[in-house]
Amino acid sequence: MNKKINYLFVTMLGIGNISRIPGSIASLITTIILFLVFHILSLSPNLILFFIILIFFISIYAVNKYIENNENKDPKEVVIDEFIGQSIPICLYEVAHTQVKEINEVLTFYFIMFILFRIFDITKPYPISYYDKNFKNSFGVIMDDVCAGLYVVVIFVFYMIITT
């Protein structure tokens, strides 16, 4: 993969170079993009989930190429992992809720998913911390965010069980 294309991919077109809170900004932009994709463009949640999985596998390679000669194996400018992690709960929410939803409900759930993802990504409860500390490679960079996204999914599943 061309170095410039790889750089643009792992930094989400340079979003990772924003000086303050690049991970949170990347997560917010991901949330907005997915809202547009699902609720303005009305694309299939299963199709988008397929692309997220594809991006996950491409990211393992791309992040590995980006960090291979860096001392810092989890540089802050790499934010494709935030895209993947934030996409997991949103995509699974859309896959599970294919019926027409009120926009206010969708915006509320997206906001909660964004906040929960950021909390888990920042505080790194186990096993997020395990991946963050023990895998100083592209797998660790990406898997801690995947775990944070899955924590959000677990919270929403418990919420749905309790409220139904």
Write down the domain spans for the chain: 3-163
* Residue 128 scores a pLDDT above 70: yes
Cα 2–chain centre separation:
24
DSSP 8-state class, residue 135: -
More confident residue, 33 or 137: 33
* Residue 1 scores a pLDDT above 70: no
**Cα Rg of the chain (Å, integer):** 16
Counting residues of the chain whose pLDDT is more than 90, the rounded percentage is: 82
